Amino acid sequence: MRKKIVVISEWKNKEDFQQLKSNVEKNISIADTFYYICSINSSVKIDELPKITNVYYLSKKDFTLFGKLKTPSLRELLIDKSEGVLVVAMEKRSPLLGKVLRNSKLRSVGMEKDTLPDFELSFIDSQLLDGKLFQQINKYLTKIQL
């Protein structure tokens, strides 16, 4: 079984994404494959965003009227092949994050904050900027031998 980490975050710009990707891949050593889901707001057009391997852009158009995930590539990543971990690299709640968490069959991991929903595994005193969250995740995943 291949170990997969799916990281969901908000898309700001390519530089911020590269920083996040570097932080994740430097601090989480137990994964074989990394996938990234970048939440975008409705004013951004997906066609204008850079094409990056293993990066999926998420918008409200990826969901049905009833909140079910309809994009085949995202369904396969989050539902059909349900081994792995969903790492939430966000510091505040968003409607798309809630829909992803409701649809996903992956274990959800993130920071414990009032501005975020509850995850299956939450880490307190963590921040995205210093990579502490990803170090804690790696330590935990190593211990449970995911």
Domain boundaries, the chain: 4-144
* Token pair listed for 115: 């501005």
Give the tokens for residue 27.
């601090």
Question: Which string of b and e fits 88-100 if b means at least 16 CB within 10 Å?
Answer: bbbbeebebbebb
CATH of domain 4-144: 3.40.50.2000
Q: How many other C-beta atoms can be found within 10 angstroms of the C-beta atom of residue 50?
A: 10
Give pTM, 2 decimals: 0.90
> CA 65, CA 68: separation in Å to the nearest integer?
8
Which residues make beta-bridge pairs with 55?
A: 36
- Do 21 and 47 meet the contact criterion of CB atoms below 8 Å apart? no
% the chain with pLDDT above 90? 50
The Cα 106–Cα 81 span in angstroms is 9
Please say if the pLDDT value at position 21 is more than 50.
yes
State yes or no: pLDDT of 2 exceeds 60: no
